[in-house]
Amino acid sequence: MKVKSEKGVGHWLIQRITAVLLIPLSLWAAAVFLAYITAPYSAAQIWLSSPYIKSAVIVFTVLMFYHGYLGIQVILEDYVPNEKTRTYLIYFTRLFSFFMTVLAIISIIQIQLS
Amino acid sequence: MAERPLSPHLQIYKIQITSLLSILHRLTGMILYGGAVLWVVWLMGLANGKDSYDAIQKILLHPVGLIVLLGWSLSFFYHFCNGIRHLCWDMGYGYDIKTVRQTGWFVIIMTILLTMFTWMLGRTWGFIWT
C-alpha cells in the first residue's frame, strides 16, 4: 500500500475535526444512553421517533465510527509489522465500520411509533 | 513502507505517567470502538421490537452487563478528557513536562469523578421509569 504524504495530513485533520464535533455529541449520547438504559421499550421508542433526534443520533453514529476507524487504523499502522496483514486489517476495519454505520442508520430509520 | 521505523517501542520504556496515559488513550479508544458496536446493537434491538429491546436491556442491567458498562463509562470519560488534552497540545498549549504531568493527573481525577457522578445520576434517573 503506497501512502501519499498529503493523505496523512487529511487523516490527521479529520481525526481532530471528528474529535471536536464528538465533544458535545458524545456527552449528549452518553447522557441519553444513561437515561434510557433503564427505560421501558415504549419510552425509548417515543424518544427515537422524532426526526430531529433521529438526525442527531445518525450524525453522532457516523462521526463516532469515522473517528473510531481512523484511530484503529493508526494503531494497526504502528503495531502490525507485516504489510499485507496490516493492509487487510485496515480494509477490514473500514468495511466493518461502514457496515456498522449502515446497520445503525437502517435501525434508526425503522424506529417509529407503533 | 517496510523500511520505516515502527513506533512506539513499548517494551523498551520505563513506564511513566506520560507514557502510561498515552497507551491508555489508545486502549480506551479500542474499548470505545467495542462500545460503539454495543450502541448499534441497542439501536437494532429498539428497531426490532419490544422482545429484542427487553432482552438486550436485561443483559445490560445484569451484573456482568453493569461491569461492562462501568468499563465503558471509565473508558469514555478517560478518552474524552485526555482527548481534550490532546487537542490542547495540537493547538500548541501545555507542552512543558511539568504541565504535561499536571494535566495528566487532572485527567485521571476527572475520569474518576465524572464516572462516579454518572453512576450516581444513573441511579437517580433509573427511578424515573419505575
Number of neighbours of residue B96 by Cβ within 10 angstroms: 8
* pLDDT value, residue B124: 87
Read off the pLDDT of each residue in B24-29 and give the average, rounded to a whole number.
98
| Residue B45 located in a structural domain | yes
Sign of CA dihedral A29, A44, B119, B75: negative
Does residue B109 carry a pLDDT above 70?
A: yes
Residue B96 gets which letter from DSSP?
A: S
In a mutational test of the B interface, the residue from A2, A28, A33 whose CB has the highest number of chain B CBs within 10 Å is A33
Q: Tell whether the model's pLDDT for residue A7 goes beyond 90.
A: no
Task: List the one residue out of A37, A59, A39, A57 whose CA is nearest residue A48.
Answer: A57
Q: In this complex, do B126 and A38 lie within 8 Å of one another by their Cβ atoms?
A: yes
pLDDT digits (tens, 9 = 90+) for A15-63: 999 999 999 999 999 999 999 999 999 999 999 999 999 999 999 999 9
Q: Whole domain around residue A59: which residue ranges?
A: 5-110
- Average pLDDT estimate for B74-78: 98
How far, in Å, CA of A63 to CA of A15, rounded?
A: 10
User: Residue A112 has what pLDDT?
Assistant: 84
Comparing CA positions, the residue from A24, A48, A19 lying closest to residue B42 is A48
Look up the CATH number of the domain holding residue B23: 1.20.1300.10
Q: Can you give the pLDDT at residue B83?
A: 98
Q: Which of A44, A65, A72 sits opposite B46 (nearest CB)?
A: A44
R_g (Cα) of chain B, nearest Å: 19
Is residue B129, in this structure, part of any structural domain at all?
A: no
* Minimum Cα–Cα distance from B74: chain A residue: A30
Q: Which one is predicted more confidently, A3 or B19?
A: B19
Inside any domain, residue B59: yes
Residues B39, A61: C-beta atoms closer than 8 Å: yes
Q: Is residue B8, in this structure, part of any structural domain at all?
A: no
Instruction: Provide the pLDDT for residue A3.
Output: 55
Residue of chain B minimizing CA distance to A114: B49
C-alpha cell at A111: 424506529
Give just the sign of the alpha carbon dihedral B48, B53, B54, B58.
Answer: positive
Closest CA to A27 of B76, B9, B74: B76
Domain count, chain A: 1
pLDDT, residue B126, reads 80
Q: Shortest CB distance from A37 goes to which of B29, B60, B76?
A: B60
Q: Domain with A78 in it: what CATH number? A: 1.20.1300.10
- B22 near A CB under 8 A: no
> d(Cα A34, Cα B71) in Å, to the nearest integer?
14
Average pLDDT over residues B79-91: 97
Q: Shortest CB distance from B87 goes to which of A20, A45, A103?
A: A20
- Tracing cell 502490525 back to the chain, one arrives at A80
Q: Which residues of B touch A75 (CB under 8 A)?
A: 26, 29-30
Domain count, chain B: 1
In sequence order, what are the residues at sequence separation of 6 or more whose Cβ sits closer than 8 angstroms to the Cβ of residue B36?
A: A61, A64, A65, A68, A100
B8 to chain A, any CB pair closer than 8 A? The answer is yes
Distance in Å, alpha carbon of A30 to nearest chain B alpha carbon: 9
* Domain, as residue range, for B80: 19-120
* d(CA B101, nearest CA chain A) in Å: 22
